[in-house]
Structure 1
C-alpha cells in the first residue's frame, strides 16, 4: 500500500489523558448526584441547565504559577501543553529541554492554536469598570484587558513561555476551530518553502466559555439542551451541553523514508463552507460531505485500497445532539461512504460524554481519534440509547452508529480515523488520520 510522499506524523503521545480511564469520569458531566468535584465544577443556569466547567484553580500547580495576566483559555493551553511536553520528555518545569529525542527546539517549532470565543468574563469585567457607579469610584481598567481578549494571546504566551520562535497561526471559525487549527498546522508543514526551518507544529484549540452570558445566548438560539444531557443521534436529543477544555497535539514533519509501523499520520484535510445560513447546516449535509471528500482525496482511502481486504474507518462526528445537525451529518457520511464494499464505518460522537466545548471540541476529538487508532478500541456514544428512526432508517449495511449498549468495540486494527467539526456561519472542517 503506497502513501503520500509527504506526511505529518503525530507524536506517540498527545495531551489528552487516556480516554478509556477518563471517559467514565467526564461522562458524569450532567449527573449532579455523582459528579467528581475534583475534576469538574458544575455551572448551572436555570433549574435544568448544566455545564461542564473546569475550575482554573486546579491548573495552578507549578512553581511558576499562571497568574492574573493569563485568561482562562490561555491557562488551559499552557497546562495541556506542559502535560504533553512532560510525557514526551521535552520540558522540565515549563522549560524546553535543549537536547531531546524529537529534535524540537525554539527555532524549528511553531504553533497553530485557535479559540472560538474571546474571554467573555474578561470583557464583562472590563465593561463594568467603565460604567457608573463603578467608574465614579476610580476603578482602573486592567492593563491586561486587551491582551486577554485577543485570540492569538494563548499561543503567544505559549511561545513566550517556551521561547519558541516559529510561526504562530491562530484560527477562529466557531465550532470548526479545533479541527481547522490542526489542518492549518498540517498544511503549513506541507507547504513550507525551502528557507523555512519549521519541522514541528503544536496544534489544537482551547475554550473557556462557561459563562452565564454565553449560555443565555445559546439558549436564545434554542441550541442548548433544556434537559442538561447530551444525547447525539438519540430520539430524545434536544440540543448540546456546553463544556470547556483544551486539546493539543504535536505534529512533526515526516516522509515516506522515516514513517514506522503503527505511526499515526495525518493524510488528508478538507475545508468548505455552506453559503447557506448563519446557524443551521445544509439539510442534505453537502458542506460536510465536500469537506470529508476533500480529506479523502489523493489518499490511500480511495485510491489504493486492496480489493480483497476489509478496512475499518472510525468517524468522530461533530454531532452536537441537535435534531437538524445530527441528521445532516449522517446524510453526508452516507453519501460519501455508504455502500463501500470493503469499508466498515463506525460512527461515534464524543459529545455525549464530553459535552460541546465549542472551538476546542475538534482538537479534543482529534486526540480521541488518535487514541482510538492507537488502541484499536472504539468507545461508543455516551447517552445514546435509541437511535432516532429518521437516522436509523437511512443507514446502509456498512455504516454503524455505536450506542451505549454496544460497549467498547475492540478491533484487530482500525485503519483510519476521521474527525469532523462544523461551525456557525456554515464552516466545515474534516481531517483524516491513518495508522501505518
Structure 2
C-alpha cells in the first residue's frame, strides 16, 4: 500500500514575538526581537540576565479560569496554539471524525514552574499541602492530554520528549502516524515554559546561556562573538492531515510535509557529536525520505542556538550533506529573534518553515555582525530575503544526542 501524502492545513503559535501566527510572522520578517531582561526570575541571582518571554498572554481567551488553574503554563500555551491551529484549518472536530484526530505535542521539560511551586509548598508546609493536580500539571505529556480533552480529539495521543528536538520529533512522528493510517488528522508540535529558577540555574551552571546583558545582541547565531543561547518559551503547532481529507473539505493547504529523519549521536549527554556527524545523518535521512535531490532544498531553518559547538558543527553537517550546494543554500536561525524555545523550538520553526514556502520569504539571522571562519555559509544576515522557496529543511538537535530534520515542500 502506498504511503498517504500529508499536508499542512493549519498553524497556531504563542511566542516571544507574538501570541498568534500572523503577529509572529510579521515581527520575524521585520527582524524584531522578543528578547528582553528576564522578569520571571531575579536576574541579580544569575549570570544570565535575558530571556525571550511571552508577553501579554491571557489564557482565559481559550479556557475558563477553573480549567486554567489545572494547567501549567506550557500546557496553557499548547491549548491556545491548538485552538488557533484548528480554527485556522477550519477543522470541525465532531462525532464524524474525532476518533481519527490525533494529538502529538512534545515538551522537553514539562511543568517546571509547577514542580518548583509545589516543592516549595512541600518544604514550607508539608506533604499534605501539595496539590492533587501537581503530577498531572507537571508531566510533559499533559499538553497533548489537555489539547485532546479540550478539543475532543480521541485519536492517537502522544508526546515525544527528546530535549530540544521534542517539537520536531513530535511533528515527524505525527507525520508517520498519518502515513501509516493511524490517523487522518494530527495536531502536532511542541510546547515549553521553562523560564524558572531551577531551569535558569541548571542551564547557567552548564554554561549554556548567554551572559551578554544586551537583549538586542545576546542571541547571535553563527556570529564569531556568540556566547550561548537565550532561553525562550511558547508553543508552535501544525494541523497535519491527509491530502485526501484536505481536498475533500476544501481546506487551505500551506504546504506538504515530505521528509523526516531522526538519529542519535551515541556520543555525549550535552555536546553534539564531532563534526555534526549525527545531525548530518538525520538530514540525509530526511532527504532520502522525501525522495528529492540535494539541490532542490532552497532554505535550511537551522537549529542555530548561538552556542559555540552547535553552530560550528551544524555548519559542518550542512556542508557534509549538501556538498557544493551548501554554499547556494540560504541558512538562517530565527532563534536570533525568538530565543531558544527548547522543546517548542521545532514546532515554532516548522510554522516559520511553512510560512516561508507559502510567501517565498526567508527570515534573517539577526545580530550577525562578525563572521566566524568556521561558520561560512549564507546565513541571510540581518534582513529577510524575498526569493522563490519550494523546499525547506528544518533542523532540531537536543541534549542526549537527538537529531531531527523535517522537510516541507510547496504543494503541487
TM bucket by the smaller chain?
0.7 to 0.9
Partner-residue secondary structure (3-state), 2:52:
strand
In terms of Rg, which structure is larger? 1
Partner-residue secondary structure (3-state), 1:111:
strand
Shift, 1:17, TM fit: 1.1
Q: Which residue does the alignment assign to 2:49?
A: 49
Cα distance, 1:107–1:225 mapped onto 2, change above 3 Å: same
Shift, 1:151, TM fit: 1.6
Cα distance, 1:199–1:142 mapped onto 2, change above 3 Å: same
Q: Which residue does the alignment assign to 1:281?
A: 272
Choose from 122, 127, 130 the match for 2:119: 127
Q: How does 1:48-67 map to 2 (within 5 A)?
A: 49-54=49-54, 58-62=58-62, 64-65=64-65, 66-67=67-68
Name the CA distance, whole Å, in 2 between partners of 1:28 and 1:262.
Answer: 29
Name the CA distance, whole Å, in 2 between partners of 1:262 and 1:329.
Answer: 31
Cα distance, 1:14–1:245 mapped onto 2, change above 3 Å: closer
Which runs of no fewer than 5 residues in structure 2 stay unpaired?
A: 14-19
Q: Which residue does the alignment assign to 2:260?
A: 269
Runs (4+) of structure 1 exceeding 6 A deviation are 259-262
1:387 aligns with 2:371: yes
Q: Name the count of aligned residue pairs.
A: 394
Q: Which residue does the alignment assign to 1:35?
A: none
> Normalised by the size of structure 1, how large is the TM-score?
0.83
Q: Which residue does the alignment assign to 2:151?
A: 162
Name the CA distance, whole Å, in 2 between partners of 1:148 and 1:30.
Answer: 27
Which runs of no fewer than 5 residues in structure 1 stay unpaired?
A: 33-39
Give the structure with the higher percent helix: 2
Choose from 403, 408, 414 the match for 2:384: 408
Cα distance, 1:318–1:299 mapped onto 2, change above 3 Å: same
Partner-residue secondary structure (3-state), 1:284:
helix
Q: Which residue does the alignment assign to 1:36?
A: none
Name the CA distance, whole Å, in 1 between partners of 2:105 and 2:63.
Answer: 25
Which stretch shifts more, 423-432 or 54-63?
54-63
Q: Which residue does the alignment assign to 2:9?
A: 11
Q: Which residue does the alignment assign to 1:424?
A: 399
1:83 aligns with 2:84: yes
How large is the Cα RMSD of the aligned pairs? Answer: 2.8
**Could you give the per-residue CA deviations for residues 227-281 of structure 1, whole angstroms, max 9, x where no partner exists?**
0410000011000000101000100022699699975111111110111111100
Q: How does 1:347-366 map to 2 (within 5 A)?
A: 347-366=331-350
Shift, 1:154, TM fit: 1.4
1:320 aligns with 2:305: yes
Partner-residue secondary structure (3-state), 2:102:
strand
Cα distance, 1:118–1:382 mapped onto 2, change above 3 Å: same
Partner-residue secondary structure (3-state), 2:209:
coil
